[in-house]
């Protein structure tokens, strides 16, 4: 969405050079490779790049103006907007675009499951809104990604689905300030980024900021932090949960519940609606993500029967419990986009249900867990031992703690295989995995475990 010149200058606090040539509306681009004639090029800085070096290139490709925080940048004869900080200017422009947007905005955050929940939600909403839904691509959930999404919307979009990530304490609050969501899903509060946040209390505060702008809360009925903090909300939340088919819903009030894989229940006080469904997504954690997406879709006006019709065809995002059949007859379950303790446990629980001759868990270490890292890895190792895993491969900085947790839980050391590199892990699997075996590949993105998959497929 373009922003009027007046709104852009006011939002950015910009000084304008060669204002007589300024476009009446600014359509922002940050990459000269995708820039279109008439765009305004905004020069971002990163660890390995500086967009200011490409300002003249942008003008040569047709940019009508550039936004910089260095007035000496060579921008040929184009209009120049000089701002104190280009990232802040980008976010301010995004906020101005959001103010002009007339549709509904749904935010999604949490320690785990954000991207999966977002993808499910976008697929479900399409049953009602068709192409009038715009969601964050991939996992573009930081200041740059959210700003890009807000500036990408058009007048024919009815719903924006905005994924929000947090590596620092005030990240969510900053994103809420520009996105101004009407509704917000908090998937859970786990152990992600404890090293950066400093404590669980600060982690909870950081995530809870998604409701700081007054967004209607959609909360996981099995998340302890949400249960504890819900009374602080000004409006009762919309709860969601994934329960057993013959189980009870753990909360009262406004609730959307998946019962097993076959029933969808929507409760609002004395009113009850239900639909028969056919859920194929693996693992209880993914059913919880689906329940969150269903609750949001219901809030946004999608009929239960329309939702039920879409559920059988839902697709997980790439790298999330991705099933890969090798020519050797071995099945890989690649779920190593990223990892925290709750996600590791959830993946192991789902893996325990896989039909296989043997289950081999290749576990890389987790990252950014601070002082609790050793304890959390030991806990994950113990949980792996308690599930139906036959062999464990352990690697990364905390491989020893993963092994320690497993042996403490009674797993024999002969069934634990340490690996020092992804090549070594792939080689062991080539030599030892047999037809009918299933292999879970799970660990932090830091360890690039996709390399194991690539080697086994080559």
- Report how far apart the first and last C-alpha atoms of the chain are (Å, whole number): 43
CATH 1.20.1560.10, applies to 3-90: no
Share of the chain above pLDDT 70, in %: 98
Report pTM: 0.91
pLDDT at 110: 94
Range with the lowest mean pLDDT among 163-172, 397-406, 427-436? 163-172
Round to whole Å and give the CA distance between 373 and 392: 19
Q: In sequence order, what are the residues at sequence separation of 6 or more whose Cβ sits closer than 8 angstroms to the Cβ of residue 388?
A: 352, 359
Chosen CATH of 101-313 out of 3.20.20.140, 3.40.50.880, 3.40.1190.10, 2.40.10.120? 3.40.1190.10
Of 250 and 27, which is predicted with more confidence? 27
pLDDT at 195: 63
Mean of the per-residue pLDDT values of the chain: 94
Domain boundaries, given as residue ranges, for the chain: 3-90, 101-313, 322-457
Q: Quick one: residue 442, left, alpha or beta (phi over 0 = left, psi -120 to 50 = alpha)?
A: beta
pLDDT at 203: 87
What phi, psi does 392 have (nearest 5°)?
A: -120, 130
Strand, helix or coil for residue 87:
helix
CB 133 within 8 A of CB 125: yes
CB 437 within 8 A of CB 357: yes
Q: How confident is the model at residue 316 (pLDDT cuts 50, 70, 90)?
A: very high
* Locus of tokens 């859920």: 279
pLDDT at 198: 67
Q: What is the mean pLDDT of residues 23-38?
A: 95
What is the per-residue pLDDT across 433-449, written as a single tens digit (0 to 9) for each? 999 999 999 999 899 99
Q: In sequence order, what are the residues at sequence separation of 6 or more whose Cβ sits closer than 8 angstroms to the Cβ of residue 322?
A: 316, 333, 334, 335
Chosen CATH of 322-457 out of 1.10.1060.10, 3.40.50.720, 3.90.190.20, 2.60.40.420? 3.90.190.20
Round to whole Å and give the CA distance between 132 and 374: 46
């Amino acid at each position: 969405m373009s922003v009027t010149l007046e709104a852009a200058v006011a939002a950015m606090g910009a000084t304008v050079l060669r204002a007589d040539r300024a476009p009446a509306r600014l359509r922002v681009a940050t990459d000269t490779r995708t820039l279109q004639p008439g765009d305004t090029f905004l020069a971002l800085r990163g660890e390995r790049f500086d967009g200011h070096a490409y300002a003249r290139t942008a003008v040569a490709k047709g940019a009508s103006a550039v936004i910089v925080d260095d007035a000496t940048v060579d921008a040929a004869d184009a209009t120049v907007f000089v701002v104190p900080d280009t990232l802040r200017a980008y976010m301010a422009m995004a906020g101005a675009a959001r103010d002009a947007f007339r549709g509904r905005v749904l935010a999604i955050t949490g320690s785990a499951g954000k991207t999966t929940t977002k993808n499910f939600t976008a697929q479900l909403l399409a049953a009602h809104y068709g192409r009038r839904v715009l969601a964050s691509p991939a996992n573009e959930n930081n200041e740059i990604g959210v700003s890009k999404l807000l500036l990408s919307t058009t007048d024919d979009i009815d719903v924006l689905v905005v994924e929000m990530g947090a590596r620092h304490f005030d990240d969510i609050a900053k994103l809420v300030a520009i996105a101004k969501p009407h509704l917000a899903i908090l998937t859970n509060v786990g152990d992600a980024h404890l090293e950066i946040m400093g404590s669980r209390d600060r982690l909870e505060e950081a995530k809870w900021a998604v409701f700081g702008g007054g967004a209607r809360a959609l909360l996981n009925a099995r998340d302890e932090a949400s249960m504890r903090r819900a009374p602080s909300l000004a409006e009762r939340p919309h709860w969601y949960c994934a329960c057993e088919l013959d189980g009870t819903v753990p909360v009262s009030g406004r609730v959307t519940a998946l019962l097993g894989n076959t029933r969808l229940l929507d409760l609002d006080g004395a009113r009850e609606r239900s639909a028969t469904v056919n859920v194929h997504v693996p693992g209880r954690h993914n059913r919880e993500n689906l329940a969150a997406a269903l609750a949001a879709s219901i809030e946004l006006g999608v009929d239960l029967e329309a939702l039920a019709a879409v559920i059988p065809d839902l697709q997980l995002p790439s790298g999330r419990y991705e099933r890969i059949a090798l020519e050797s007859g071995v099945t890989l379950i690649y779920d190593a986009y990223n990892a925290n303790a709750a996600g590791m446990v959830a993946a192991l629980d789902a893996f325990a249900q896989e039909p296989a001759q043997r289950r081999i868990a290749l576990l890389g270490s987790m990252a950014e867990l601070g002082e609790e890292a050793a304890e959390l890895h030991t806990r994950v190792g113990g949980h792996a031992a308690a599930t139906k895993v036959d062999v464990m491969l352990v690697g990364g900085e905390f491989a020893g703690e993963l092994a320690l947790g497993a042996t403490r839980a009674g797993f024999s050391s002969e069934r634990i295989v340490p690996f020092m590199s992804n090549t070594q892990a792939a080689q062991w699997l080539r030599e030892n995995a047999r037809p009918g075996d299933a292999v879970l590949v799970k660990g932090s993105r830091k360890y690039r475990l996709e390399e194991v998959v690539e080697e086994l497929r080559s």
